[in-house]
Structure 1
Amino acid sequence: MTSTSGALARRLGLRDAVVIGLASMIGAGAFVSLGAASDLAGALAPLAVLLAAGVALCNATSTAQLAAQHPASGGTYHYGREQLGPWWGFLAGWCFVLGKIASCAAMALVIAAYLVPEPAQRIVAALVVVVLTGVNLVGVTRTAALARVLVSVALVALVLTGARLVGGVLLGAGGSAGSDAADAGAAIPGPLAGSAAGLWDGGLAAVLGAGAGGAAGIVLAVAQAAALMFFAFAGYARVATLGEEVVEPRRTIPRAILLALAVVAALYLALSVVLVLVGPAPGADGWGPAPFLTALDAVGAGGAWHAVITVGAVAAATGALLALVAGISRTALAMARERDLPPVLAPVSPRFSVPQRAELAAGIAVVLLVLLASDVLVAIAASSFGVLLYYAIANLAALTQVGQWRLFPKAMQVIGLVGCLLLVAALPGRTIVAGAALVLAGVAYRGVVLAVRR
């Protein structure tokens, strides 16, 4: 490759593509979102997981169908431009970048929370982002190799921990967890439990009085739990954003997306059932940002088991962050090529075949958010807002495909579009307002750029 703005090399096969999708999803869902979903929906958390998985499946078919026709970097930014027009493409790309920067910040903070005490967490999280950005700068094949190791470690840790929790429940907490764990296991957790209920303030649930309980409260609790769980499923599209680097994209991308999604959906459903079996969180703060550490304590398992889940959590979050930074940079690359972002981000390294300037810009943005963010769950909600709107546009774009490119029924795209919009409406009011303001800021930026060109 002789030009710094040329095409990316096709190096990723089916196995690498599936691993990148798994590494992008396994992390938030298992180690953060499941706890928040359980706090909100209680015993109905598995239903929230299924709802999120159903919306994700519809979105995945749209993404796979679009990626097969348009195998280039940029994901729905590129698809939206091709199928709907430049403005739709810009909105998709802008929402993706906003949502995934929030995702990266959440993952980095989770890694730090497991490694060091509170005073040093933000600095460690920022250092983690710097290191993983450096890994991405030296080539996507090395990214895929490292992701394979990290996701394997995370899967082993989750399976072992899940087995230990089930064993503790079957043995009645083994007699070592104390009466608190026994009492927790005897109760059926209800919706709107724990500190996660505070996420409802100012949103649709507050308007409809969900906090007062009743059928409306339960439905809205499950809907918001599903919106938070959707954050954990969103990584399957990372394969599509790397479409310019995938071998045989028409065949590889759809298979990789659906395989990765199926594995993760089964895993999340099983883990949500395990948390229900353990019982309600044994404290006023709910399951917290590390639900499986809390669950292990509830069944009397500590020490070595804490080490197992900590290693798994750090590996999973690291793998997710690694793939997320790569996905953001590829979308930024595509937007810069079309001058929707500054063209200075467009060059591709002739040595490593990666968009190094876009990688650096993404890393800097995540570091800034890590240093300024207030809460992991708030970051997750912000990510869900951007990503759900991104997939809504993907479903809309897929609806316009015809002929040989229509791989799935239109009904799946309609369900995906409606599902995305409903889950956005279920998010906290403050998240919706802040997200809408950032989207409008992006629209204003593009409007100014277009006016200056004219």
Structure 2
Amino acid sequence: MSNKLVRETGLSGALVIGLGSIIGTGAYVSVGLSAEIAGSGIVFAILIAAATALMNGLSSAQLAAAHPVSGGTYEYGYQFLNPLSGRIAGILFVVAKSASAATAALAVAWYISLSISVPFWVVNFIAVGLLLMFTVLVLAGVRRTNWLNSLLVLVSLLGLVTFIAAGFSERDAQEIVVSVSSPLSLFHAAALMFVAFTGYGRIATMGEEIRAPRQNIPKAVIITLAFISAIYISVGLTILHLGGISSFEQSNFNIAHLIADSNWRWVVIIGGVVAMSSVVLNLILGVSRVILAMARRGDLPNRIAVLSSDRKSAPTATWITFVVMSLIATLGGVKTAWTLSAFTVLIYYGITNIAALKVPPAQRFIPKWVSILGLLSCFGLVLLAAIA
């Protein structure tokens, strides 16, 4: 009997999975955070981040086709580079995705606190409580099925479309003039926006499940990134239209805070909470699986690799994931956690591009220049953002 997965996912299915993996903290938090830095240049920052994500997404697709195993660049580093590269990639993944989950939990906590007038000092405790709740759900076997993924995408998009429509319908808004205030601030904002695109990795790892993967995976990556870019640009222009950048940081980049009509605001709040809660659930599962893989290989203590009696969860790895995410959520705010995620994930994908350059010619279907540009863009954004 074959141990290969059935290729039953078409292009449309891959698009839904891609959207479900990307829409979340980026749309509801990162665009506003980046708009505060780049101002009216946010559109250019989003386009730079999207171009960087496209090159990295194609490199990831190349690696997934050549070495179709779970574990991402942690496994690719071992396979195409050396053990040290794999270990570094594994650590970077855990830190980057834990910081993303902490950001999402903090953002949900802020949405809740601003909606029901909870004191600000309890926000971090709410975030840790949310992380604990989702950790327990993961240990109980909760997963995002295809139909649930589609439903979550619809709710998330409804919140964003409502924000855009309500925002542009409000009077006394500001005229939008798209310009670049400072090149360094532009690249700083682009580095933060890049994290908002990184769910494309989920599409890239579908080489064993998708029909005609060499054609459909690149198509799915390109279409998904184009659609998400349009959403992010629309959200960014709405923020500029509402003129909310000056007071944005006080609400921890809560876009719902900018909508005057309370009825529409609640739709945005619900969309944001659903989208970001879904992100937390997915990231707890994803990070715990990489920790499990590292323990099995001996890069972490072997006892971390112990499975539950029904072999459906890895309790120790999952609880370690909770502790790491909670520490980041407790020690920093939304901006700090997201910045940590941005820097570490850019370095992580830099290693991805280096590994993609090592794929043998016979297995290659993405040109080398794509991975070279991806590598330069990742490390270039890290350097320019650090200088800024």
The TM-score, its normalising length taken from structure 1, stands at 0.75
Residue in 1 aligned with 2:155? 153
C-alpha distance in 2 between matches for 1:129 and 1:317: 12
Residue in 1 aligned with 2:333? 375
Residue in 2 aligned with 1:86? 83
| AA partner of residue 166 (structure 1) | F
Going from structure 1 to structure 2, the CA distance change for 1:323 and 1:257 (only over 3 Å counts) comes to farther
Tell whether 2:247 aligns with 1:267.
no
Tell whether 2:370 aligns with 1:416.
no
Deviation at 1:349, TM superposition (A): 4.9
Which of 141, 162, 165 is the matching residue for 1:163? 165
Residue in 1 aligned with 2:122? 120
Tell whether 2:222 aligns with 1:230.
no
Matches within 5 A, 1:287-298: 288-296=251-259
Q: 1:138-176: CA deviations, max 9, x gaps?
A: 4475455544332221111111221121222xxxx0xxx
| AA partner of residue 133 (structure 1) | T
C-alpha distance in 2 between matches for 1:243 and 1:18: 14
Matched residue SS, 1:426? helix
C-alpha distance in 2 between matches for 1:134 and 1:238: 23
C-alpha distance in 1 between matches for 2:143 and 2:7: 7
Matched residue SS, 2:134? helix
Q: 1:376-421: CA deviations, max 9, x gaps?
A: 1111110011100000000011011123421211111111101100
User: Is the 8 Å Cα contact of residues 35 and 288 (structure 1) preserved in structure 2?
Assistant: no
Which of 221, 242, 250 is the matching residue for 2:185? 221
Tell whether 2:326 aligns with 1:329.
no
User: Is the 8 Å Cα contact of residues 36 and 287 (structure 1) preserved in structure 2?
Assistant: no
Query: How many residues were matched structurally?
Result: 379
Matches within 5 A, 1:305-454: 305-349=264-308, 351=310, 353-370=312-329, 372-428=330-386
Deviation at 1:262, TM superposition (A): 3.3
User: Is the 8 Å Cα contact of residues 347 and 378 (structure 2) preserved in structure 1?
Assistant: yes
Deviation at 1:111, TM superposition (A): 0.7
Matched residue SS, 1:340? coil
C-alpha distance in 1 between matches for 2:204 and 2:141: 17
Which of 97, 102, 105 is the matching residue for 1:105? 102
C-alpha distance in 1 between matches for 2:254 and 2:125: 23
| AA partner of residue 32 (structure 2) | G
User: Is the 8 Å Cα contact of residues 343 and 382 (structure 2) preserved in structure 1?
Assistant: yes
Question: What RMSD over aligned residues (CA atoms) do the two structures have, in Å?
Answer: 3.0
C-alpha distance in 2 between matches for 1:146 and 1:241: 20
| AA partner of residue 61 (structure 2) | A
C-alpha distance in 1 between matches for 2:243 and 2:202: 34
What are structure 1's unaligned runs of at least 5 residues? 1-6, 174-180, 192-216, 431-454
User: Is the 8 Å Cα contact of residues 306 and 316 (structure 2) preserved in structure 1?
Assistant: yes
C-alpha distance in 2 between matches for 1:258 and 1:359: 33
| AA partner of residue 113 (structure 1) | W
The TM-score, its normalising length taken from structure 2, stands at 0.87
C-alpha distance in 1 between matches for 2:316 and 2:358: 34
